[in-house]
Every structure is written in structure tokens, then in C-alpha cells.
Amino acid sequence: MSASSPVQLIRPHRFGDTRGWFTEVYSVPAFAALGVTCTFVQDNHSLSAPAFTLRGLHFQTPPHGQDKLVRCVRGAIFDVAVDIRKGSPTYGQWVGAELSAQNGHQLFIPIGFAHGFVTLEDNCEVTYKCSDTYAPANDGGIRWDDPAIGIDWPMPVGTVPELSAKDAVQPLLADIDSPFPYDGRPLASLA
């Protein structure tokens, strides 16, 4: 994983024995070495009961933008970040990764990216750290199925995801005026 990539897939090491395993999911020095230096101030935890529940694509505008560190602690999700930084050569492009309780992977999504996920099984629980608290006046979003973005959500053909009323009517990317500046780091593959 490259510390210069704005969105990062983090694969914490698990130390296992006959009792199970132990992992360190967050450490200020370890994350600083990856270039993640934000201060997290809020932890969120969600339960999505049916498989193919889709949450997103969400962001918060300045001055309450949120860096997020996302992990799935029960079940499995496909987690996505979309570059919405004005002037970015990768504007409107996305990356995604499967996060599961089994693999223990996490996704760091910095300010300037819209975030969303779809559950791949029933009863998925997701936790995530945020660098700012929820600010309803700064809440923003983009349609999960915007054809200009073209996210390849891993759902069976013909599946209509479970959506909130808000997510069902989010605007298209072309209809938002992004308040996020480009920082010189294009979106890179998570490989």
C-alpha cells in the first residue's frame, strides 16, 4: 500500500493461536507512517439486516468534512470511495474493496471522496471512525447508480438494493458543485 494514495486499503496483521486471533485495528504511529494523520473524533456503528442494503454515496462538506476509517465487524460488504475533488484528474472515478469480519481489512477514505457500501450478506455490522462529528447542514450525497460513475456493485443481476428514502433521490455527480479542492494526489488502485 502506498502512503501517497489518498484512499487506502489497510490490511491489519492478525496474530492467531488456538484461542483465536488478536489484531491492532488503529494506532496513531502506524497510521501516520501511511500518511493518515487526521484525528478521529467520532465512532459510528451500523447494522444492515437484509443482504444488498446499500448505504451511500455520502460526504460532508467543509467546514465539517470527514475522513473515515471503515471496517466490517460482522458479515461482508463491498465498500466504495468516489473521487469528488474539483480539478482532480480522477474526478468521478471510484475504487472498491470487500471488507469482512473474516478478512479484517479496513478502508481509509479521506475528505473529498464520497463513500458508500453494499452488504453482501444478511445482518452486516459496520464500524467507522470519523474525523468530524455529524453535521446535518453539511450532509451531502450522490446517487449510488450514477451512470457517469459506473460503480460495479457486486449484486445479482436485477437486484434492487434496500435504500433509505434519502439515498433513493440523491443528485447525480453532474448536478453537484464540489467544494473539495484537488490536493495533487490522484486516486490510485487499491491493489
- H-helix segments, 1-93: 28-33
Question: Coil, helix or strand for 191?
Answer: coil
Active site residue 128: yes
Strands (E), the chain: 8-10, 14-17, 20-23, 42-48, 54-60, 68-74, 76-83, 94-100, 106-109, 113-119, 124-130, 139-141
Catalytic residue selected from 26, 105, 128, 182: 128
Catalytic residue selected from 58, 64, 105, 134: 58
**Three cell numbers at 21?**
486471533
Nearest alpha-carbon partner for 146 in 109, 111, 114, 183? 114
Which residues are known catalytic residues?
58, 128
